[in-house]
């Protein structure tokens, strides 16, 4: 069976949600590694796919944290070998910087449950966008979806970056929001909206991941 290596925080934005549904449907064995355990010069364990999850850390210009520099280098080494990679939210931002691109801090956090433009495809969500750091360029990558001020989905070879939280279910969204101490009035409408569109969100996530896998070597 193929192995999916999941890189995440230990107790924040670590739940795989709809992505786990897809992994199990495709007979992946799931192995976990955590950012706190990364060591300079020690590469990621071998796997058929690396999934890099969200974080409160930052790789935005002027805000990049020291631990994130190590992660960028490890991801750079991983993708240089042609390995399969899917970065979600922060994981997408790490990929953009690893490719020589830039991530820009915004004045306010963007929070919404939104369909996105994915030309010629039904893989549109709606998915959660919850981020204050925007990917502004990813040199050498094909841009698959973008809005006026941010890149949302892009790929370079076998490495894909997906800014929306395609993994989030209504339940995991609520737990994530509580975990980062967001006021209920700020997250409850998003949970309700995602819940009303859960069937479409799940189907779009599975279709997007099918599309990515089909286009990875």
For 7, how many CA atoms within 13 A lie in the half-sphere containing its CB? 29
State residue 24 phi and psi, 5-degree precision.
Answer: -70, -40
State residue 37 phi and psi, 5-degree precision.
Answer: -100, 0
What pLDDT sits at residue 66?
87
Q: Could you tell me the pTM of the whole model? A: 0.96
Tell me, what CATH number does 7's domain have?
3.40.50.880
Note every long-range contact of 105-110, with CB atoms under 8 Å and residues 24 or more positions apart, other chains counting. 105/58, 105/60, 105/61, 105/62, 105/63, 105/132, 105/133, 106/132, 106/133, 106/134, 108/132, 110/134
What pLDDT sits at residue 122?
72
- Tally Cβ neighbours within 10 Å of residue 89: 25
Distance CA 53, CA 120 (A): 27
What pLDDT sits at residue 120?
64
Domain count, the chain: 1
What pLDDT sits at residue 119?
72
User: Domain range holding 33?
Assistant: 3-214
The residues of the chain scoring below 70 in pLDDT are 120-121, 217
What pLDDT sits at residue 123?
78
What is the bridge-based pairing of β-strands 49-52 and 29-34? unpaired
């Amino acid at each position: 069976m193929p192995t999916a290596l999941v890189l995440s925080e230990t107790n924040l934005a670590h739940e795989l949600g709809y992505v786990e549904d897809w992994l199990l449907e495709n007979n992946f064995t799931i192995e976990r590694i955590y950012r706190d355990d990364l060591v300079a010069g020690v590469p990621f364990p071998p796997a058929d796919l690396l999934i890099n999850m969200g974080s409160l850390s930052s790789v935005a210009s002027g805000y990049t944290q020291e631990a994130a520099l190590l992660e960028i280098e490890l991801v750079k080494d991983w993708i240089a070998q042609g390995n399969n990679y899917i970065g979600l939210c922060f994981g997408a931002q790490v990929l953009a910087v690893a490719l020589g691109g830039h991530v820009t801090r915004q004045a306010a956090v963007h929070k919404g449950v939104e369909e996105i433009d994915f030309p010629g495809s039904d893989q549109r969500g709606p998915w959660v966008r919850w981020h204050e750091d925007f990917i502004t360029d990813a040199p050498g990558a094909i841009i698959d979806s973008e809005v006026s001020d941010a890149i949302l989905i892009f790929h370079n070879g076998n490495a894909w970056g997906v800014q929306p939280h395609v993994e989030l279910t209504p339940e995991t969204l609520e737990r994530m929001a509580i975990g980062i101490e967001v006021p209920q009035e700020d997250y409850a409408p998003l949970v309700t909206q995602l819940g009303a569109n859960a069937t479409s969100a799940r189907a779009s996530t599975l279709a997007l991941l099918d599309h990515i896998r089909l286009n990875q070597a």
